[in-house]
Amino acid sequence: MTTRRKFLKTAGLGAAATALAAPAVKGQTKIKWRLQTYAGPALAEHVIKPHIEMFNRIAGDEMEIELYFADQLVPTGELFRAMQKGTIDAVQSDDDSMASPTEVTVFGGYFPFALRYSLDVPVLFNQYGLDEIWKQEYAKVGVQHISAGAWDPCHFATKKPVTSLKDLEGMRVFTFPTAGRFLSRFGVIPVTLPWEDVEVALQTGELDAIAWSGITEDYTVGWADVTNYFLTNNISGAWIGHFFANQERWNELPDHLKDLFRACTDASHYYRQWWYWGGEAALRVNGDKLKLTTIPAEEWAQVEAEAKKFWDEIAAESEVKAKVVAKIKEYNEVMEKAGPPYRYG
């Protein structure tokens, strides 16, 4: 917090801001970037830190990326603005929680029931055209969209058992903006807090549950220590997250450093594919902190049906959103027709 307060006090003010956001120039011994992730320190050890360290080792004397964790320099909800202004150089986050002012923001994080598995994300972006749409939308606001990848599915970790939709009514839940907007249809009360305050809020009763992650994160970041149950039903099979950079900072990089950064972010995406996939299964079977609960499939089908209505509501909001929803529908139709192993049931 001391670092963050100092940062907020000086960012945007005279010489301090100039030093903070100074672009790389010819003759400078080393290009330096500040990158802030959405993840706290324990989670960042897996979702980004090894690959930023790899980048720095390979870049050597040419470039160094300083990594900051959730809310360390700016609150997560201000990440986009800080990157756009150049007070930080790059970001790892979803569109939704960093409040990016684009037409695709609503699809970041957990767009309900759009994804069944983590592999759905790279296929949608690389084979169904979402990468091109994201790059176009972020170019309009001075940000380079570098790459998209999958994280864990969205499950509830709760203090009280959930075995029916009725149990969700009145539940105060820490979740993403779009997920909260959708879940409010079932009586959930979305609560916005700094990420670092969630564990204490669960202990004090300010929160009843979280719908922010899968079981791997619950154990990794300590939430499994302050909740009791894990709901096996999910509203999305994967989280969509991205790497972004300030457009000017990105343009200043030589091509080989752009290629290196892309390669390191792709390595980060690949690591998460197997870390989450294996972790979700192993902790359901071997984890000793959270008891599994399930809402019956026939009742949960009501939530899935409501999601399709939600898609259409989002599509009606703009031409770009309609285009993305159409791609999601097309993709899911193909997966369902393909059958196992692409879709079961």
Section 147-156 average pLDDT: 98
Residue type, 291: K
Section 232-261 average pLDDT: 98
* Position with higher pLDDT, 114 vs 22: 114
**Please, which residues have CB within 8 angstroms of residue 336's CB and are 6 or more apart in sequence?**
342, 343
Class of domain 2-151+239-279: alpha beta
Class of domain 154-238+288-338: alpha beta
Instruction: List, for residues 301-343, the tens digit of each pLDDT value.
Output: 999 999 999 999 999 999 999 999 999 999 999 999 999 999 9
Instruction: List, for residues 33-74, the tens digit of each pLDDT value.
Output: 999 999 999 999 999 999 999 999 999 999 999 999 999 999
User: What residue spans in the chain does CATH classification 3.40.190.170 cover?
Assistant: 2-151+239-279, 154-238+288-338
| Local confidence band at 211 (pLDDT 50, 70, 90 cut-offs) | very high
Report the pLDDT value the prediction gives residue 244, as an integer from 0 to 100.
98
Q: What secondary structure, in 3-state letters, does the chain show?
A: CHHHHHHHHHCCCHHHHHHHCCCCCCCCCCEEEEEEECCCHHHHHHHCHHHHHHHHHHHCCCEEEEEECCCCCCCHHHHHHHHHHCCCCEEEECCCCCCCCCCCHHHCECCCCCCCCCCHHHHHHHHCCHHHHHHHHHHCCCEEEEEEEECCCEEEEECCCCCCHHHHCCCEEEECHHHHHHHHHHCCEEECCCHHHHHHHHHHCCCCEEEEECHHHHHHHCHHHCCCEEEEEEEECCCEEEEEEEHHHHHHCCHHHHHHHHHHHHHHHHHHHHHHHHHHHHHHHHCCCCEEECCCHHHHHHHHHHHHHHHHHHHCCCHHHHHHHHHHHHHHHHHHHHCCCCCCC
